[in-house]
Structure 1
Amino acid sequence: MTQGSLHRVVVLVDENSNPFELGCATEVFGLRRPELGRDLYDFRLCAASPRTRMRDGFFTLAGVAPLSALERADTVIVPNRPDIDAPRRPRVLAAIRAAHERGARLIGFCSGAFTLAEAGVLDGRRATAHWQWADSFRRRFPRVRLEPDVLFVDDGDILTAAGSAAALDLGLHVVRRDHGAEVATAVSRRLVFAAHRDGGQRQFVERPIPRARDESLAPLLAWAQAHLDEPLTVAELAARAAISAATLHRRFRAELGTTPLSWLTAERVALACRLLERGDVQIDMVARRAGIGTAANLRSLLRRETGLTPTEYRRRFAPPVPSLQG
């Protein structure tokens, strides 16, 4: 695949954009991938002005593409806005609308949801925003179907992440959607970041700081990942960690923001995806090796998580079978 045929991701940077989300986009979509033997995206930055002052004057960005770069983008990542009450410039909003109208995928990280809503492309659509700004968002954009308790929302051609760190979750979700679970896992490994946190997980809202930090769940998680084909239960995991089931639930909520059962299901689906991508394992065997049980269970879970059946997922992400020359 040549550079010109890669999916084009363009990050639109505007006045007072937050450097962290810009860094997240660059890390996920912009780096070369020698460990994969190929690049995943054609990545670039663009701005409405030749020089753009970043948040709080941390630095000034220059030398990036002009706003017209959006005209050829397949995916547009819109600028976030730490000052959610400051309006975006009309020509920035117009460029976002034009990209959406011609079919580009739009992504908003954190307060980027405000930019998308101000551009008018979220009316009647699902989206999320940081829990701190949920009430303000609802007041300003009542026509948007806000889901304030989740990490990110995938509404097809428009995706939004709730907070700064959730930008990485959403970015990896997009890589998984575009290139499959094996590639997304490789990208997350390079980031030293969790390969998969489901978008439906609750955001981490304020909670009292515990007096003493529990030991990490990492050893238990590593053991469970090596035994996904076994009929693991929450009680067995708790016994393995030498704690009660109730304590295990609290630990999972505190460290991972999810439940043990939800984590196990997500890990099993991710393993099933990796097996499907190899292309040489029968679907019922994939279900057994991933601890999902039956092909029917696998079909139900995979469709819920990816929108694809196992056969469709394999057709999309498994390497093509080389043809035999007679």
Structure 2
Amino acid sequence: MSLDHARAKPHERLATLLAPELDAVNTVIRERMASQHAPRIPEVTAHLIEAGGKRIRPMLTLAAAQLCDYSGHHHVHLAAAVEFIHTATLLHDDVVDESGKRRGRPTANLLWDNKSSVLVGDYLFARSFQLMVETGSIRVLDILANASATIAEGEVLQLTAAQDLATLEDTYLQIVRGKTAALFSAATQVGGVIAGADEDKVQALYTYGDALGVAFQMVDDLLDWTGGAGIGKDIGDDFRERKLTLPVIRAVAAADSGEWAFWVRTIGKGRQEDGDLERALGLLQHHGTLESTRQTALNWAETAKDALAPLPAGELRDMLRDLADYVVARIT
């Protein structure tokens, strides 16, 4: 769908609606990223947290709790915990991927070093668990602990699947569900749980977050090939890093012998030459895998919107529906 650009974007409208709670989340984040003995911790953390991220994940927790009529304050702690988990994974990812740019700025590992990024990421994971425990909910702790394990598992799976041309779509989806969708679904689910919502509503929130996260990552993977405003990285990074994302997996599956040899050389063996990125893009266009990936992402966005049906109708639910459209709007 085309967006009405005269209207505020869904995440901006959510931020306005949730402004008091978001302010409280930011206060908790600033307090908990402090360190009496290691000033590098807040330096590194602030570099990433204050880099202009949209805070979509913590907003999902706040929105889910509000949708379920929560009147306490623990959703603020959970939203901060979710943001800490997300920030920790970004710090670790940039080390693993040897990235030099994140959100259009130099990465923490480039400005400081890999050791600082890894250890500060560990610190933020620990802080997130402290925040979870403060809610007093074992189920919330279980959900976010499982999500943290699933995220790490997804990253390791992606590491082992990289360069493996036998990687199937099912494995790709498992990676996406691990590295991205797990935190989206946990963020929405714990909002319902902390509010004491009925199980059908908690399940609806989980399904919404899961589908939204899958669509979000598929769009990112597609934009790595096609470009787009605000992606914060260079076109073709995944190709250079030999990652098997959905457009490539589908192109490899459709390859003839000559194309297969190309993928073996560039992805399997990593022998990339000038012009290879352009040829790879041409093969994706030839086999229609960019378009098919776009359609798959749109289908996941529809799944996310459909999942909201059991939740109370109103402005907040409409914003979450619009957010699903917004996530895929960059590829429509």
Question: TM (normalized to structure 2)?
Answer: 0.30
Question: TM (normalized to structure 1)?
Answer: 0.31
Q: Which has the higher helix share?
A: 2
Q: Which has the higher strand share?
A: 1
Larger of the two Rg values belongs to structure: 1
User: RCO greater where, 1 or 2, for CA within 8 Å and sep 6 or more?
Assistant: 2
